[in-house]
Amino acid sequence: MKKLILIFTSFLIWSPTMNAGVFDNQKINSIDGENMDLSTYKGKTVLFVNIATKCGYTPQLKGLEELYQNHKEKSFVVVGLPSNDFGGQTPEVGKDVKKFCALNYGVTFPLTEKIVVKGDKKHPFVANMIKASGDNSEIGWNFEKFLVDKKGQVVQRFKSSVKPDDKKLVDLIKKNI
């Protein structure tokens, strides 16, 4: 009986931590320098993507915007995480990244401030998302994608080569919205 009580008590203490989503207790700023409250994404399906402006994958911004436009009415959002970690392929700062994305690819989805997404100095939000994905490997290149469900759980991680119109990605988004 004592073992059963101990097990039950341990479950009560640890279960909130085990079920914590990537939106919980995370702070990040928007591209405009304002606090971006990630808890506002609870209840939405979110595709987080580390983006770059001068990468061979940069044209994916157009497809990401199309995904966003096609599904935003169904509680779906794309969030771009600008990074300069891979070959210096995002040399712009702050609002210049936003301007580039809007002018060249019509991007209207939210962007965070430019952050580090790999190594010891990676942003805590990215570290948390990587851990929650179950794949603890570093982000390998620009345009890796993390699909997060309405509860803040990582559904799947996609490599850079997976395009925004990839059937598996689109089907998972539709399943989770």
- The set of catalytic residues is 55
Instruction: Enumerate residues 6+ apart whose C-beta is below 8 A from 132.
Output: 21, 22, 153, 154
Q: What is the residue whose two structure tokens read 């700023």?
A: 29
User: Shortest CA distance to 114 belongs to which of 102, 130, 105, 126?
Assistant: 126
Measure Cα distances from 98 to 77, 110, 166 in Å: 17, 9, 25
Q: What is the residue whose two structure tokens read 């570093």?
A: 138
- The CA-based angle 165-168-170, given to 5 degrees, is 45
- Give me the phi and psi of 164, to 5 degrees please: -60, -25
Q: Helices 167-176 and 60-71, interaxial angle, to 10°?
A: 30
